[in-house]
Amino acid sequence: MERAQLEALLNEVREGRTDIPDALERLRVLPFEDMGFAKLDHHRPLRTGMPEVIFASGKTIEHVTAIFVRMAQAGGNVLATRVSPECAQSVLAAEPRATYHQAARCMTLEQATAPAGKGTVAVVCAGTSDLPIAEEAAVTARLMGNTVELIADVGVAGIHRLLAQRTSLQSARVLIVCAGMEGALPTVVGGLVNAPVIAVPTSVGYGASFGGLAALLGMLNTCSPNVCVVNIDNGFGAACMATLINRM
């Protein structure tokens, strides 16, 4: 339940358009709704400003579909990450208003206005192989009320491509930078801008990249003091952090 929804309900009670038993029934799922296999935290937007999100990986298609539909019925925006095409088909059959973002492996349903960010969130990725993680970050950030600019394939192996984007980089209020291999891109971007840079190591690279561990360690050892790091492939987490910064 969003703050605006709760305020509207309280005003309805005050004005006599909703009686107390009906209001109590609508509030019944606070602070959470027990579905047996899942406990939906409808109270989270009021508590943290961020909605609960469905992490589809590891869940059955039936469970993801049931959770998505119930969250949609609650009236807020819905986001599911790491959604397979097969799972997406099931969700769309149950909730046709949803949108499947195949490149990002995300599903969204937008039915409420999220608080607007104060500036642009730039989502930058080193190579096209990093694009799925960057797309996950971009989809998440947009649903959470941000203006997003996606800048793709500007890795340090062709640094002139990055420098050609300097105006966009320097005008962003927050930057999310996704890179695999040796993970150098966030450090370079951090040296070009006076804004927070959220580095996302990706599991892209040959054997000695160890599934993104090399990029993670490289980013943790950055010499740019405006860079912080999230977990490997965690575009969603980076977008949440960027959203909180962009609202301040």
Q: What is the pLDDT of residues 67-81, one digit of tens each?
A: 999 888 888 889 999
Tokens of 230: 């999230």
Burial of 161 (0-12, 13-18, 19+ CB in 10 A): middle
Tokens of 237: 């987490």
User: How do beta strands 99-101 and 106-109 pair?
Assistant: antiparallel
Residue 22: pLDDT band with limits 50, 70, 90: confident
Identify the weakest region by mean pLDDT among 4-8, 62-66, 197-201: 4-8
Percent of the chain residues past pLDDT 90, beyond the cut: 73
Identify the weakest region by mean pLDDT among 50-54, 133-137, 204-208: 50-54
Angle between helices 131-143 and 235-247 (to 10 degrees): 40
Residue 20: pLDDT band with limits 50, 70, 90: confident
Q: Which helix (H) or strand (E) holds 200?
A: strand 197-201
- Average pLDDT of span 1-8: 67
* pTM, 2 dp: 0.84
